[in-house]
Structure 1
Amino acid sequence: MKVFDLEFSTDHYYIKRSRVVEQIPFNNRTFYAKFERISEPLTPLLFQQHLNKQYTIAVPLVKNGFTDYLVLEYKGEEYLRFSHLVKHLFHTMDITKFYIYQGKDEEKIQVFIHVMHLTLEEAEKQLTEISDRLKQRLTKRWKTLPSTQLPEAYNIVTLPYNEI
C-alpha cells in the first residue's frame, strides 16, 4: 500500500484502541499494547478514515527481522527546528532518501529514512548514530524505530497525516 511517498507491503496492520488489548512479556518487562493487530491488508478506505482521524492506524516496521524504513518521531514545541536540523544533518551524512511528515498533532514530526532491507541490529546502529548527532544540537524529545529493545508489536509506526 502506498501512503504518500512511502510504500508498505504488509499482510496486517494495527488499530489503536482506547484500552489495553494485550500484555506482552519481553526481556523481563511487560508492555501494555493499545494497538490491536488486524490480520488483513490495509485498504485505501481505512487509510482515508485514518486521515479523517476516525481511527489511528499503524503498520509494522520489521518483517522477518528486516526493515525498509528507519523512523524518528519527534514531539515537542521545537518541531520546526527539529525538521530543519534533520534536513541539514542528513545532507552532511549523505542521506538523500528521506521523507518528513506531520503526525496526528501539529507538534509531532515523523521522519522516514528509506533503507534497503536492513537487519534490526544494523538499523538500530544507524539510528543511534543519527540520534547521537541530533543530541549535540537539541534536547532529546524523539524516539527511534525500529529497536531491538522492543517487542514486534511495538516496532510499529502510526501512519502520517500530512506531508511537510
Structure 2
Amino acid sequence: MAYNVDITLIKMNKKYYYEYKGKIVNKIVYKGRTFFDKYEKVDKPLTLMIMNEHIERKKIIAHDLINRDRNIVENIVFDYNGNNPELFWNRVSLLLREEGFLNFTAYNSKTPGHLHLYIHKGHTTLNEAIQIGKKLSSKLSLKLPKQWRMFPNDDLPPEFNILNLPYGLFKKERGASWAKHM
C-alpha cells in the first residue's frame, strides 16, 4: 500500500520525524510535571518509504507541528477524540468560517472516529498559534462537549507538540466557494 494521503497543505518539516517505540524513551520535567516520552526523534529525512511503513501500520510515525528553526507554526490542530466526527466537523467548520479561516482539513487518525483537523494558518508565531487555538477551543466548547485537545499547546513540552501522520482524508474545506459569503 502506498501513502497517498494529500498532506501538501500541512507543510511539515521533513528534515526529521518521530517514531513511536512503545516504551519510555525519555523522561521530561516541564512546568512542575513529569512526562514520559514514547517517541524517539529520528534525525533523518521523512521519506515516502517511511510514510508507506506508517500507512501499512508497520511503524507509527509522527511529525513536529513547530518549525524549530524559525519558531513558527504552519497549522493549528484540533485533535478530536470524541464519538461523533460528523457533528464535530459540522460545528467546527461553521465556527472556522465565522472566524475567517477558509482552508482546513480533517484527517482520520488510527482510531476510527477520531480526527486531526488542521487549520492551515501559515507562518504564525508559536505564541500567536497557541492563543488562537485556545480562543477557538473555548468558542467551540460553548456548542459541543469538549472532546478534543489543541495543538500547539503550551501545557505540554515542545517534544509533545507532535502528531501522528494521517491515515486518510476525512473532509476538507478550501475557502474559494465560501469566500463570496464572507
Using the size of structure 1 for normalisation, the TM-score is 0.93
2:134 to 104, 128, 131: 128
Aligned match of 1:59: 63
- Tell me the residue number matched to 2:159: 153
Q: Secondary structure at the match of 2:119?
A: strand
Structure 1 residues not aligned, in runs of 5+: none
Q: CA RMSD in A?
A: 1.4
Who is 2:43 aligned against? 39
Q: Could you tell me which of 109, 122, 126 is aligned with 1:116? A: 122
1:73·1:110 contact (CA, 8 Å) conserved in 2? yes
Normalised TM-score (structure 2) = 0.85
Residue 169 of structure 2 is aligned to residue 163 of structure 1? yes
Runs of 4+ that moved beyond 6 A: none
Question: How is 1:60-99 mapped onto 2 (pairs within 5 angstroms)?
Answer: 60-64=64-68, 65-99=71-105
CA displacement at 1:9 relative to structure 2: 2.4
| Residue of structure 2 equivalent to 1:19 | 23
1:68/1:114 contact within 8 Å kept: yes
Report the Cα distance in structure 1 between the residues aligned to 2:57 and 2:77, rounded to whole angstroms: 21
Question: How far apart in 1 are the matches of 2:110 and 2:40?
Answer: 18
State whether residues 76 and 129 of structure 2, in contact with CA within 8 Å, keep that contact through their aligned partners in structure 1.
Answer: yes
Assess if the C-alpha contact under 8 Å between 1:120 and 1:147 holds in 2. no
One-letter amino acid of the counterpart of residue 58, structure 1? A
In structure 2, distance between residues paired with 1:3 and 1:124: 26
**How far off its partner does 1:7 sit?**
2.4
- Partner of 2:94, secondary structure, is helix
The superposition leaves residues 38-72 of structure 1 with CA deviations (integer Å, 9 ceiling, x where unpaired) of 11110101111111111111011112321111110
C-alpha contact (below 8 Å) 2:13/2:64 kept by paired residues: no
Q: Whose Rg is larger?
A: 2
Determine what percentage of the aligned residue pairs are the same residue: 28
> CA offsets per residue over residues 67-86 of structure 1, 9 Å max, x none?
11111010121122111111
Count of residue pairs the alignment pairs up: 163
- The CA distance in 2 between the partners of 1:116 and 1:66, in whole Å, is 9
2:146 partner SS: coil
Of residues 108, 120, 123 in structure 2, which corresponds to 1:102? 108
Paired AA for residue 77 in structure 1: N
